[in-house]
Structure 1
């Protein structure tokens, strides 16, 4: 129990940390104000079933259930209202996405203000009959100790946290052998005490407006089926790809703006009529670019306004960053386009290296050349510290701020 909770005698249950706490039940027996589980369950015996039914009838699946705010990586954060049905449907789906079983014990230090962590951690753990291991504030040494002590089997962390865990002072001392639901190529998956063949379901696409995932390949999908794509539509979802200029639906295989509707689509933005957020057919226009192939797989290419137009060609920063983030020594990478007199836009990759990594601009460009077409290789590579970058509440880099930083740095270089 947390310090400050008194359970010595009836009526003494009180805590300044949890001012609304009234009952504590224990599966392993009780003492004082901590009730054994069977006695806790009898509290419902005296409640009239008609009252329960009447209370339940006041809420429908279509009623507002949660309010989340977008991260604001491209614009001012917006309040996004979702219905109970969409939220609960996605929470149950995460059990399947993760191939989670009853042994799911999920560690997370990331707030539930972020819809992705809300869905993955709560859905992945609780819908499988597992449990949550929560850390109020991320601190890497404490996180590793908590995972080891509580025998965590899965972990949810943002990319910048992985490196901090691996660099923690107690990294070599903790026993993380209970971990299973971690990707083999993540720092936790590479820990000396961890042995796992679990596949992280990263081939996915979604938005807060669709309460996270709308296309995905579940954990365990063969690599040749994924083939570098972002999944297939979830049941009930309908997509169309639109010409960004005319709004017309383009033929299968052609690039355009992704639009989607389905059972998890938001009720709308707070303060904005729904008909201003979706089109006449009920589709939400995501602002993201992509296309579907003949196998029904989505190829997501990033924000339309992030697509770089250089030398007459369209370049997806997502494609470049997917390659460069696999380069040893790269901690964080994000590619942007900045104005250029002759090319239209200059492709610039911004990197936060791991401490002590022997990286330079030529090394990164050489690495990229081996896997990318020549016009996609960044013309410039700039290095920054994490403190240089402006992050949103969900640890995304703010694109507009990064572009301004790049322009400022390039302007100081000799002509």
Structure 2
């Protein structure tokens, strides 16, 4: 059981003068005393303009220490709703209205379409003014009022609401309580053996569960520090590594692959600034890339498995080994099982839907009884992922159920094909997806990014795939690109990719 069940309690472990927030911009760090004072001041400011527990505050800020502290401090006494700063006016209008936001926090003096959307909806705008230390800030604006539920949030209060990234349907609202997000932070802290002398270099967007919980909250739960970069930048990554000397970082596979591509010319930096470990989550990491990263950095790469509805982490490869490339590890937080379509639980080695239950799992989507009826069976949350447990209890994912390619009744796992294609020495990245087909329903296609200076034909890659895959799994169409199209959080998007690339068979 955690010693803490709220964000405010989670911050009590850090030593008063230890750094909590850092930034690669020469500003002094914010220590735990300063962070705790900022939290109390922010909650008081919000209460003074009528915002308290359960009231929703949208946050639209660039990546950096102020985005991290705004999330922490607002979550301590209200409900945070971090939004992607890249949205257009109509997208902000949809999210602000859907969330029933009481206020919007933006950086003072910056233009964002979020202001326009908030003004049109009558949502009060609060301007964040950065202080001297990394992450310190004051809030300006708002109208004086009395909060219905003032003070610090309690364990069952909602700390964070995020929308699911729906492919076609309207995005669903995922409410995560104080207890949910602090449980997940504790699970990550334990699985990575985080300590007060650890520092995470955050390169993940902070409107995404991965960055918020795995990088920020788990670091602070351990009494350690988080160094918040202005966002992922492959050209500056190694400079940050050299200057900030973090002990770890967490990223999605596409970011790791970009870092790997530049690692060779930065070997001196890697030797000077050794990492204790690297962490990967939010998508499947090709086994070959994992092995190369471990070799180059001389440190273990811990692949973890997470999703928004679980406040991020569900499973993780053990830090001390054995780590299994291509598998997402052992249960590392919630209870996990494999479920058949009829709701019965399957035995080890049988393939079915991955289901979870535990303290970090959302109680259900907001105001969406239909979605909840589909998502929960006998108290288990259905993840939508297909997989199985191997003899050692490690979870192998075989794909998202909705991403499986159905070729004339044969079900093909895009992850399996990705793995085989990524093993080719000329391939840097591969993404397999379904192409609509008039007779078979769907056919196998893939997008490939080649390693620098390498040459490969479609025929050669298909021949390589045919050595390891049944004929019906071999991609019928290979598209070579300089970069694979990604979503806002760096995630690769399989669904609708054929349409996006204008491919038809």
TM-score scaled by structure 1? 0.73
* Paired position in structure 1 for 2:301: 200
Contact 1:254 1:291 in 2 (8 A): yes
Residues 233-252 of structure 1 correspond to what in structure 2 (within 5 A)?
233-234=331-332, 236-243=334-341, 246-250=342-346, 252=348
Inter-partner Cα distance in structure 2 for 1:187 and 1:145: 21
When residues 24 and 286 of structure 1 are mapped into structure 2, their CA distance, relative to the original with a 3 A threshold, is closer
Whole-Å separation in 2 of the counterparts to 1:235 and 1:139: 31
8 Å contact from structure 1 (residues 96, 218) kept in 2: no
Query: In 2 relative to 1, CA 364–101 (structure 1 residues): closer, same or farther, beyond 3 Å?
Result: farther
Distance in 2 between residues matched to 1:133 and 1:162, nearest whole Å: 18
User: Is 2:430 the counterpart of 1:330?
Assistant: no
1:326, 1:76 → 2: CA distance? 37
SS in 1 for 2:339: strand
CA distance in 2, matches of 1:174, 1:384: 31
- Deviation, 1:335, is 0.8
Question: Contact between 1:73 and 1:397, CA under 8 Å: does it hold in 2?
Answer: no
Matched, 1:400 2:495: yes
**Change beyond 3 A, Cα 1:74–1:119:** farther
Indicate whether 1:288 and 2:382 are aligned.
Answer: no
Distance verdict in 2 for CA 1:95–1:332, change over 3 Å: same
Structure 2 counterpart of 1:219, from 315, 319, 325: 319
Query: Which residue, out of 147, 156, 178, partners 1:84?
Result: 178
Question: How do 1:38-77 and structure 2 match up within 5 A?
Answer: 59-72=153-166, 75-77=169-171
Change beyond 3 A, Cα 1:67–1:219: same
CA–CA distance in structure 2, aligned partners of residues 293 and 155 of structure 1: 28
1:185 positional shift: 4.8
Q: Which has the larger radius of gyration?
A: 1
Is this contact kept in 1: 2:405–2:411, CA < 8 A?
A: yes
Give the whole-Å Cα distance in 2 for the aligned partners of 1:169 and 1:251.
Answer: 42
2:236 counterpart residue number: 142
Cross-structure match for 1:161: 255
- Following the alignment from structure 2 to structure 1, what is the Cα–Cα distance between the partners of residues 392 and 174? 32
Structure 1's 121 and 341: CA in aligned 2 closer, same or farther, altered over 3 A? same
The structure carrying a bigger helix percent of its residues is: 2
1:348 aligns to what?
Answer: 445
Query: Pairwise mapping of residues 303-342 of structure 1 onto structure 2 (< 5 A)?
Result: 303-342=400-439
Equivalent-residue separation in structure 2 for 1:297 and 1:167 (angstroms):
29
Secondary structure of 1:400's aligned partner: coil
Cα RMSD for the two superposed structures: 3.7
The answer to whether 1:358 aligns with 2:358 is: no
- Counterparts of 1:165 and 1:235 in 2: how far apart (Å)? 29
Question: In 2, distance between residues paired with 1:258 and 1:185?
Answer: 23
* Displacement of 1:115: 0.8
In the superposition, the TM-score normalised over structure 2's length comes to: 0.61
Deviation at 1:104, TM superposition (A): 2.2
* Deviates most, 182-191 or 254-263: 182-191
Q: How many residues are paired up?
A: 361
Residue 398 of structure 1 aligns to a residue whose secondary structure is coil
- Structure 1's unaligned 5+ residue stretches are 6-14, 26-53
Q: 1:258-305 CA distances to partner (integer Å, 9 max, x unpaired)?
A: 332221111332332485464362222222222335544433211112
Asked if 1:96 corresponds to 2:190, the answer is: yes
| Alpha carbons 1:329, 1:359 under 8 Å: kept | yes
Q: CA 1:70 to 1:332, structure 2 compared with 1: closer, same or farther past 3 Å?
A: farther
| Distance of 1:394 and 1:86 partners within structure 2 | 22
The answer to whether structure 1 residue 109 and structure 2 residue 109 are counterparts is: no
- Deviation of 1:82 (Å): 0.8
1:372 and 2:469 are equivalent in the alignment: yes
Which runs of 5 or more structure 2 residues have no equivalent in the other structure?
A: 1-22, 29-106, 110-126, 135-148, 280-288
8 Å CA contact 2:187–2:332 kept in 1: the answer is no
Counterparts in 2 of 1:253 and 1:149: CA distance versus 1, 3 Å? closer
**Contact 2:162–2:175 (8 Å) recurs in 1:** yes
CA distance, structure 2, for counterparts of residue 99 and residue 284 of structure 1: 27
Report the Cα distance in structure 2 between the residues aligned to 1:175 and 1:275, rounded to whole angstroms.
49
